[in-house]
Amino acid sequence: MSDTTGVYLITGFLGSGKTTFLNRIIDKFPKDKKLTILMNEFGEIGIDGTLIEGEELDMMEISKGSIFCVCVKTDFIKGLYELNNTVQPDVLIIESTGVANPSDLKRDLKLPIFNDRFRFVEQFCVLDAAHFLDAYDVYASLEKQIASSTVFIINKTDLAPIETIDKVKKVVHEFHPDPYFFETTYADIPLEKFLFPEEAAPQVDEDSVAKKRERRILSENELDQFVDDLLDDPDLEITPPDRLLSVTYHWSGNDLEQVREMAGRLPSSVVRAKGFLEEKGGIFLFNYVMGDWTIEKSEIQEDRIEHM
């Protein structure tokens, strides 16, 4: 276990392929390193958390809003504090909600209660080639995601013509003169150059580390007070959310054709929909992104859905 935790952030709009990319990282992650995943979902129920592959994976989920917005900032800070004092992983990968403005993350990681434990390494931005331009014209958070990212994964290139992909690149070039691009499908990129090289970790002053470890752990009340004071700071800028509404539905039925008919009638104001369906004993994943949708057989176990 290292003396610092390298932090990697995965951003991208709703339905761009962030969870698919995260699963690829988990599959390639060095077995001798300790990994923690922080999943942040805009909706009330964490669908993506059930899709993460990996046995005995250390994972924390924060739903009902963006971790960079005041709505769940408290949960985020407390979660990081717990990781810092108990788990202390070598690497923390954060998958933020698709409507998050991640520009606050570097500042949050430097809060004094974390004792310089967290070390920001890389920020990936997954871009849906087919839908990015439409979303970019409406949601301000995409501009912030692009401006603060370092690696850009143009995903689902099989669903967009080359002219559209070039327009996506042009938008990114407005923020970065020499961006790092990957054009791909299913978020499949060569991860070797990004997967936590040893030289990414700085030299550590052992005496300094020992002194920081001697610091007293805050009580629950003290931690609450710290976060309250942080949020009340008039000089602190906290990201306002995009104007989106999340709704959760549960219904009974076993006819996928009815779901297909429903998906075809959804209004353009519905940006993203996702969930599990069951028909004749099989589990299916419903995926809807800005008018396009799929229903695919899922290998997920039924007991994981029952506990959602």
- Confirm whether pTM is higher than 0.95: no
Please report the pLDDT score of residue 276 as a whole number.
83
Query: Do residues 300 and 276 make contact, with C-beta atoms less than 8 angstroms apart?
Result: yes
Q: What is the pLDDT of residues 273-290, one digit of tens each?
A: 878 888 777 888 888 888
Better-predicted residue by pLDDT, 10 or 194: 10
Show Cβ contacts of residue 55 under 8 Å, excluding neighbours closer than 6 positions.
none
Q: Kindly list the domain boundaries of the chain, sorted by start residue.
A: 5-232, 256-306
Most confident of 14-18, 156-160, 278-282, 299-303: 156-160
pLDDT surpassing 80 at residue 231: no
Contacts of 131 (CB under 8 A, 6+ apart): 13, 15, 16, 289, 290, 292
Res. 154: pLDDT tops 90: yes
What CATH superfamily classification does 5-232 receive? P-loop containing nucleotide triphosphate hydrolases (3.40.50.300)
* Whether the Cβ atoms of residue 12 and residue 98 lie closer than 8 Å to each other: yes
Q: What is the pLDDT of residue 42?
A: 62
Range 146-153 average pLDDT: 94
Give the mean pLDDT of 121-128.
95
Structure confidence at residue 127 as a pLDDT band (50, 70, 90): very high
Closest CA to 145 of 261, 287, 10: 10
DSSP 8-state class, residue 292: E
